[in-house]
Amino acid sequence: MRKITAALAAMILITACGGQGSDAGGGEQTRVTLVQGLAGEEFYETMACGAKAKAQELGVALDVQGPQKFDPTLQTPIVNSVTASAPDAMLIAPTDVKAMIAPLTQAKQQGIKIILVDTVVEDDGIGLSRISTDNVKGGAAAAQALSEQIGGKGKVLVISTDPGVSTVDARVKGFEQEIKANHPDIAHLGVQYSHNDVGEASRIVNAALAKDPDLAGVFAANLNSATGAGSALRQAGKLGEVRMVGFDAGPAQVKQLKDGVVQALVAQLPGDIGAKGVEQAVAAVKGQQVTASIPTDATIVTEENVDEPEVQRILYKAGC
């Protein structure tokens, strides 16, 4: 167990006595902080719900923090302050493969066990466990779904967030590999970056429609990109004419699916990612074996299966 200050020890004691549960072995309560990629966003809120439920089950004190934008310059100070508070473990979704290496190296050097949830950094030495969707496979599945929607031919556009975000980069890679290998009549117009901003994603699609009025399909690589792209298609009166596949399944995306704005969603399991993250953190703190890489499932959600109970169960939530 890591060294803690007297003030912190008093706080932890209060938390433990406050009925949040105590360490199964009757010792000091394990303290874990989850640093989200973006606070308040349904993917990360669902992840926090899974982490909270698991923390409660295991008697772990869990704190959740996150930046107001998916931005390493905003996430870095949060990581630095978490490091200063010296939890036993940190679950983190790094917002950039390079920029987050330095603050996480510092946390690691302080002895904090780091578990990467969703995104990763380029330094393999950071992250005792990495838990995420197989995003390359997810991107390839999105390409297959979009190809099916457009009859295997026509122009397609990809909207991502920013280069350097491991998950969306992997989705784009999987998408492009699949199109290149198996869909010769699809013309890939390239990737444009929305900076994870709904309005920017919308502007990108509007400009693309002006330049290529015969655009056949859009792959939006995450939640905000899909929300913005979908509203642009709606405003342009292109529903049904331009087909769309989006990654993620928050309430707005599910509504777009039901409204015919988007034809397929790739739903991840953020709740499972959070829960597994806490499990790995506890194992690491206890000096038990951790699993270096844990892939979690993704499901293609369409109008046909969206109301099935097992699909309803995996849709993201705004809170728990």
Q: Tell me which residues touch ligand T6T (CB under 6 A).
A: 37, 41, 43-44, 118-119, 167, 222-224, 247-248, 268
How far apart are CB 43 and ligand T6T at their closest, in Å? 4
How far apart are CB 272 and ligand T6T at their closest, in Å? 13
How far apart are CB 248 and ligand T6T at their closest, in Å? 5
Nearer to ligand T6T, 37 or 67 (CB): 37
Nearer to ligand T6T, 29 or 253 (CB): 253
Nearer to ligand T6T, 70 or 283 (CB): 70
How far apart are CB 230 and ligand T6T at their closest, in Å? 14
In the structure encoding, which two tokens stand for residue 86, read together? 């010296």
Nearest to 121 by CA among 142, 90, 147: 90
How far apart are CB 54 and ligand T6T at their closest, in Å? 19
Q: Which residue is nearest to ligand T6T (CB)?
A: 223
Nearer to ligand T6T, 22 or 76 (CB): 76
How far apart are CB 65 and ligand T6T at their closest, in Å? 16
Nearer to ligand T6T, 55 or 92 (CB): 92
Nearer to ligand T6T, 43 or 175 (CB): 43
What three-state secondary structure class fits 78?
Answer: helix
Nearer to ligand T6T, 129 or 167 (CB): 167
Q: How far apart are CA 100 and CA 36, in angstroms?
A: 13
How far apart are CB 161 and ligand T6T at their closest, in Å? 6
